[in-house]
């Protein structure tokens, strides 16, 4: 099984690239989704958060208010380091369990979609790493709009990550996400076709089959 790590700055479009890879049959492991599941009541991270921060971080329904946690950690490096040192081992264990499961079931391609891939040291789990690149001005505007943040809040979240320049320097492949989505799709297809031409062929066979099924009304 071949493992591609997908990373890049926050709000740069990692999920867009992962979703494209999914079309070619890749199994996606999204670290953010995994962390959110573990932050639900009963999850390992949930329990650690309550023990460390207390119940003031909970909303009226007993769920972790991620905005409250973010306001704490993005203004306090000690707290941010605590979260990373606590959460990363838990998530890495779960990631490895999924990779073993996929390996045993004959999966050809797995993708680790991880914002802090380099920071956490998880790039060593991958056969190659793709960095999704977006210009800083577009990144910060997208983050402000997506998460309803002020400029200062968005900037604080970006600054705690490894710089985009450093990530691109370390990457095996850089996906430029500054253009249209069609451009991003073409880059993904090019890279996949280089390594897995059969996955590209299989995708287009299925796409054509579904097209004719819809055309004939037999879907």
Query: Region 52-64: what's the mean pLDDT?
Result: 94
Confidence check: pLDDT of 2 > 90:
yes
Share above pLDDT 90 across residues of the chain, in percent, rounded to a whole number? 79
Buried-state track 181-192, b at ≥16 Cβ within 10 A, e below 16: eeebeebbbebb
Confidence check: pLDDT of 7 > 70:
yes
Query: Region 142-162: what's the mean pLDDT?
Result: 93
Q: Output 58-64 pairs: Cβ under 8 A, ≥24 positions apart.
A: 64/39
Give the pLDDT band of residue 212 (cuts 50, 70, 90).
very low
CB atoms under 10 Å from CB of 97, counted, come to 10
CA distance 122 to 3: 11
The SS3 assignment for 133 reads strand
**Contact (Cβ atoms closer than 8 angstroms) between residue 17 and residue 184:** yes
173-176 sheet: strands from edge to edge: 27-30, 109-113, 2-8, 128-133, 173-176
pLDDT of residue 208: 46
pLDDT of residue 193: 87
The SS3 assignment for 58 reads strand
Least confident among 13-17, 122-126, 149-153, 191-195: 191-195
CA distance 35 to 174: 25
Query: How buried is 24 (Cβ within 10 angstroms: 0-12 exposed, 13-18 middle, 19+ buried)?
Result: buried
Q: Mean pLDDT over all residues of the chain?
A: 90
**Contact (Cβ atoms closer than 8 angstroms) between residue 106 and residue 23:** no
- Secondary structure letter of residue 4 according to DSSP: E
Q: Where are the alpha helices (DSSP H) in the chain?
A: 14-23, 31-38, 44-53, 66-73, 77-104, 117-120, 136-147, 151-159, 164-170, 181-195, 197-216
């Amino acid at each position: 099984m071949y493992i591609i790590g997908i990373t890049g700055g926050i709000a740069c479009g990692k999920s867009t690239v992962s979703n494209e890879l999914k079309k070619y049959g890749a199994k996606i492991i999204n670290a953010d989704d995994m962390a959110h599941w573990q932050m639900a009541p009963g999850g390992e991270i949930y329990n650690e958060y309550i023990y460390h921060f207390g119940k003031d971080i909970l909303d009226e329904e007993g769920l972790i208010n991620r905005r409250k946690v973010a306001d704490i950690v993005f203004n306090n490096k000690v707290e941010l380091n605590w979260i990373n040192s606590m959460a990363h081992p838990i998530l890495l264990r779960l990631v490895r369990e999924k990779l073993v499961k996929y390996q045993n079931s004959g999966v050809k391609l797995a993708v680790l979609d991880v914002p802090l891939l380099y920071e956490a040291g998880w790039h060593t789990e991958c056969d190659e790493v793709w960095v999704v690149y977006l210009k800083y001005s577009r990144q910060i505007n997208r983050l402000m709009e997506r998460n309803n943040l002020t400029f200062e809040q968005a900037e604080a979240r970006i600054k705690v990550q490894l710089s985009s320049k450093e990530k691109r320097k370390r990457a095996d492949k850089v996906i430029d996400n500054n253009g249209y989505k069609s451009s991003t799709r073409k880059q993904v297809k090019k890279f996949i076709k280089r390594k897995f031409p059969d996955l590209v062929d299989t995708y287009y066979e299925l796409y054509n089959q579904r097209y004719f099924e819809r055309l004939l009304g037999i879907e």
